Chains A and B, each alone.
Chain A
Amino acid sequence: MKKKTLIIWLFSLFMWLPVLASEPSFTASAPSQVAVGERFRVVYSANKRPASFNGPAFGEFRVLSGPNQSSSSSTQIINGQVTHSENFSFTYILEATREGSFNIPGATITVEGRNFSSNELSIRVSGQAARGAQPSAPAPGQQQAPAAQGVSDRDIYLRAVVSNANPYQGQAVTLTYKLYTRVVVSQYSIEKLPAYQGFWAEDVTPSGQPQVTEEVIDGQRYNVATIRQVVLFPQRSGELSIEPLDMQTLVRVSAPRRSGSLLDEFFGGSPFGGFQNVERNLRSNQVRVNVRALPAQNRPPSFRGMVGSFELNTGLSPLEVNVNEPVTLTLTINGSGNLRMLEKPEIQFPANLEAFDPNITDNIRISASGVSGSRQYEYLLIPRTGGTFEIPPIQFSFFDPAASRYVTRSSPAYSLTVTGTDTATGEGSGAARQEDVQYLASDIRFINNTIFYLQPKGSLFFRSKLFWFLLIGPVFLFAFFLVYWRRHIRLQSNTALLRNRKAQKMARKRLKKAGAFLKSGNSAEFYDEIFRALWGYLSDKLSIPVSRLNKEQVSEVFGQKGVPEEMAGKFLETLNECEFARFAPGSPQTRMDETYQRALDTIVTLEKELKYKKF
């Protein structure tokens, strides 16, 4: 009986075994120590299929992913003993954000209607500022360690080198990141690129695998790989610093023997000597560049910040066109320097020469030695009127850092001859199109560039002594002259009047004398005296000197004075007779008497006539 009950007891115990073995368990596991920024897993595992899973609050940790559910089951037969185990796991990937010790409360699951809580986790976050990133998926059969072990800073480091630590503003500087290693790097990735503040950057990293060279530093042989190359153009002067570049590498190191199980050894380690990939974060040195400002003196007005060495080539074709036909002005700037920052040159095109925005063709090569190539501007110009257009020389200035001076390149001045007249405008061909004069700018007129007369300040002619003198002087002068002239006239007219009055007396005197000659029979003297008497009378009467009298004038004057024609005829006849007789002496006595009488009559009648006709 005793034996039988024992057997039953044993059996019943045996029957309980699977029940005991399948008692639900729920545990949480996580590394106890991580670094700030490091990513790590928290795994909750249960041995029974849970009906529900409630994750905990992770507090200071950032959840990157999860919960990711996975399950596995295994059946083991050891010495005929069959064990069956199932495993359900919920995995979180967390990132540590802050230094310190943190607790993660347990998660809960519901299994077969009962709630189970996992253990609490305590994680210490250390301040080692390693910027961890999700490591690239490790190759199968490789295991990764959270931090590098057994790799020193002398084994692998990153160095940033500038080609010129003291460049001019705008001068190209090549920045090279070199990776120095004495270990095998299986993988690398650039984590963070610097912003290159104060620079204009062009990436010139050669594509493909980085070239590896060997260098010996301090007796140690290093493999040097150029990871990245950037051409920088400083945009401002002063001391500029370039932020370091962050990089993550996986370094293959020989794995230390760990007291792991054989299974671990088998699956985790390399079967060929035990290597493992170690994550290592690298940071380059900070580079300081002291940028020199461009000199302010001798800076040409056409300077627009170009630094380097350039040539300017221009061309205008054709040089002779008709109106409204296009002309191309090409302007090529080639050389090395910050060509990308080239500004459109300012060209003062003459008015009536329409210029369109230029067509820009770039042929720019960027390499570690800088930027070189050419940029071409193609201007389309259309002359709208005939004539000759002068395109002034185009100036292009740059700073030559090698010579430390400004250089100005100038194009020749072009003269464009445009023939023909404007015909294309408007439909009515031949209709003259007039334009107002276009004022290009409003400016003052030019100075009077002559030597001019200066007068004493504030001197005024008006009301000056000279003014009054010139005003009053002529009036006085005029008045004086007038008075003088009047008197003169009066005097003169008096003599004439006297002579006029005495004319008959004089004539009679002469005639008396002639009468005496008549008696004595001196005919020549007689006629001479008669002649003189007549002329003298007329001269006195008309106020005309004897020397200026002649016969034609006499008849004219008589006509004016209204003396009858027959009177004039008689007078002239008598005169003629006297003249004739003077040069032909020996005339008879009777004739002389007659002439005497006639002369007397003429004078008497003339006296009458002229007395009534006063002037």
Chain B
Amino acid sequence: MKKLVWWLSGLLFLSPLLLKASPEELIRQANEAYVNGQYSYAIELYESVIEQELESHELYYNLGNAYFKENLFGAAILNYERALKLKPSDENSLFNLEVARTRTIDRINPVPLIFYERWWKNFYSKLSVDGWSWMIIFLLLGFLAAMGAFFFSRTRGMKKTAFGVSLIFAVAMVVSLAAVRAQYSNTYKRKDAIVMVPRATAKSSPGEASPDLFVIHEGSKARITSELGEWYEVRLANGNVGWVKKYALEVI
């Protein structure tokens, strides 16, 4: 009898956990809803997964698609950007982000980069921060293996080859370290945000009374350079700087 009581109380404690659908199940249901055209329901389900403090670039990509289908382009762009933060080279996210951008109002021409800056940015954007991290680990192991071969080989030719290989690994590792540093500062150290309201007015200083400088519309991207109270100082890709209310922006 006592045993039964224990069992029941245990079940009572565990039942909320049992009832809570697993994230995989939620994603399966959300994908199904998306396929059936129930986009708002799909959004709800995807968001519930994110509420469980879980994420993946596929999840953000799918959520962005669902928002796009509901014509919420600001939210769609935000989620594509989040997907690209986790996997910068994801082709589908890049494509859909471009499509979503064509539906927005603002066209902000970024300040052009010098060619080597562009090359470098293209290079380090090939992998995410974690991708580069794993790359470094892999290169380190390769380097150590080559060093081992260098030490243990008996003939001169083998030693030469092993030394050359280890040198290549070492150089590649240094480059990867630089790339991970650049990618880390590009994605995590700075804060980019997407405009989530149909239109947001940028002021010259944080205060309602200050003069309006420019207007940005839903879906536009801005970098947050500073904050004060309920205001963010933002810098657009074209170099314009202004103060926008916090509620109008959502950090990627």
Residues of A within 8 A of B (CB): 442-458, 460-462, 467, 470-471, 474-475, 478, 481-482, 485
Contact = CB atoms under 8 A, between A and B. Distances in A.
A542 to B, nearest CB: 15
- Interface of chain B, main secondary structure: helix
B99 A444 contact: yes
Interface in B49-94: 49-50, 53-56, 58-59, 61-62, 65-66, 68-69, 92
A467 B131 CA distance: 12
Given A442-B99, A471-B140, A485-B152, A447 B31 contact: yes
Contacts of A448: 58, 61-62, 92
B23 interface: yes
Contact of A449 (B31, B53, B68, B129): B31
B92 A454 contact: no
Contact of A453 (B56, B129, B137, B141): B56
A454 B55 contact: yes
Contacts of B152: 485
Nearest to A489: B152
Contacts of B207: none
A475 B144 contact: yes
Contacts of B65: 444-447
Nearest to A445: B92
Nearest to B30: A447
A455 B55 contact: yes
A162 B152 CA distance: 110
A454 B56 contact: yes
Contacts of A444: 65, 68-69, 95-96, 99-100
B239 to A, nearest CB: 29
Given A457-B53, A478-B144, A445 B95 contact: yes
Contacts of B119: none
Contacts of B238: none
Contacts of B62: 447-448
A455 B53 CA distance: 9
B35 interface: yes
Contacts of B140: 471, 474-475
Given A461-B130, A482-B148, 9 more contacts: A444-B96, A445-B65, A448-B61, A452-B58, A455-B55, A456-B54, A457-B50, A462-B184, A482-B151
Given A444-B96, A447-B31, A462-B132, A452 B68 contact: no
Nearest to A452: B58
B210 interface: no
B28 A451 contact: yes
Nearest to A467: B133
B59 A474 contact: no
Contacts of A443: 99
Given A444-B100, A461-B130, A478-B147, A451 B27 contact: yes
B188 A454 contact: no
B50 A461 contact: no
B102 interface: yes
Contacts of B180: 462
Contacts of A457: 50, 53-55
A452 B59 contact: yes
Contacts, number: 87
A449 B102 CA distance: 25
Given A444-B99, A445-B92, A455 B54 contact: yes
Interface string B99-134: 110100000000000000000000000000110111
- Interface of chain A, main secondary structure: loop
Contact of B34 (A447, A458, A467): A447
Contacts of A478: 144, 147-148
Interface residues of B, number: 44
A478 B142 CA distance: 12
A474 B137 CA distance: 9
Contacts of A451: 24, 27-28
A496 to B, nearest CB: 14
Given A454-B23, A457-B53, A478-B148, A447 B137 contact: no
A368 B167 CA distance: 99
A471 B176 CA distance: 13
A478 B134 CA distance: 19
Contact of B59 (A454, A456, A475): A454
A546 B32 CA distance: 74
The 6 closest A-B pairs by CB, nearest first: A462-B133, A461-B130, A452-B58, A454-B54, A444-B96, A447-B62
B58 A445 contact: no
A460 B144 contact: no
Given A443-B99, A448-B62, A461 B133 contact: yes
Contacts of B69: 444
Contacts of B148: 478, 481-482
Highest count of chain A CB atoms <10 Å: which of B23, B34, B140: B140
6 contacts: A444-B100, A447-B34, A454-B24, A454-B54, A462-B130, A467-B137
Nearest to B83: A448
B53 A456 contact: yes
B125 to A, nearest CB: 15
A461 B141 CA distance: 17
B168 to A, nearest CB: 18
A447 B184 CA distance: 27
B241 interface: no
Contact of B35 (A442, A449, A460, A462): A449
A283 B204 CA distance: 75
A478 B146 CA distance: 11
B33 to A, nearest CB: 10
Contacts of B144: 474-475, 478
Contacts of B96: 444-445
Given A471-B137, A485-B152, A452 B55 contact: no
A492 to B, nearest CB: 13
Interface string B182-198: 00100010000000000
Interface string B143-159: 01001100110000000
